[in-house]
Amino acid sequence: MNNFPPQMINKQPDFHSDAYRDAYSRINGVVVIGETLADRHFRSLAKSIPDDHDLLLSLAAMESRHAVDFVGCGRNLSIRADTSLARKLFDPLHKLFQECEHNGNLAGCLVIQGLIIESFAIAAYQEYLPVADPYAQPITELVLHDEEQHINYAECWLKAHFKEAKNEVSSICSKALPITLSILQTLTNDMRTIGMNPIELIASFSERFQSALETVGYKGSSARRLIMRSTLSVPLT
Mind giving me the DSSP string for 148-213?
HHHHHHHHHHHHHTHHHHHHHHHHHHHHHHHHHHHHHHHTHHHHHHTT--HHHHHHHHHHHHHHHH
% pLDDT > 90, the chain:
84
pLDDT tens-digit profile of 174-199? 999 999 999 999 999 999 999 999 99
The verdict on residue 51 lying in a domain is yes
* Total number of domains constituting the chain: 1
**DSSP state at residue 15:** T
**Torsion, Cα of 171, 118, 179, 56 (10° steps):** 70
In degrees, rounded to 5, the angle at the alpha carbon of residue 176 between the alpha carbons of residues 163 and 174 is 60
Predicted pLDDT at 229: 80
Phi, psi of 161 (to 5 degrees): -115, 20
In a domain, 103, yes or no: yes
Quote the pLDDT of residue 4: 39
d(CA 185, CA 203): 13
Q: Would you say residue 171 lies in a domain?
A: yes
In this predicted structure, the answer to whether residue 49 has a pLDDT above a threshold of 90 is: yes
Query: Which of 23-32, 130-139, 216-225 bottoms out in mean pLDDT, i.e. has the lowest?
Result: 216-225
Average pLDDT of the chain is: 91
Is residue 172's pLDDT more than 50?
yes
29 lies in a domain?
A: yes
Q: Does residue 236 sit within a domain?
A: no
pLDDT at 65 over 60: yes
Residue 70 has pLDDT above 50, yes or no: yes
Question: Residue 122's pLDDT is what?
Answer: 94
| Domain-embedded: residue 6 | no
- Residues 111-137 pLDDT 10s: 999 999 999 999 999 999 999 999 999
Q: What is the pLDDT of residues 133-167, one digit of tens each?
A: 999 999 999 999 898 889 999 999 999 999 999 99
**Domain span holding position 203:** 15-231
Query: How many residues in total does the chain contain?
Result: 237
Output the domain CATH number for residue 218. 1.20.1260.10
Establish if 1 belongs to a structural domain.
Answer: no
69 located within any domain: yes
- Counting residues of the chain whose pLDDT is more than 70, the rounded percentage is 92
- In this predicted structure, the answer to whether residue 7 has a pLDDT above a threshold of 70 is no
Q: What is the pLDDT of residue 220?
A: 87
pTM confidence score:
0.90
DSSP symbols for 37-76: HHHHHHHHHHHH-GGGHHHHHHHHHHHHHHHHHHHHHHHH
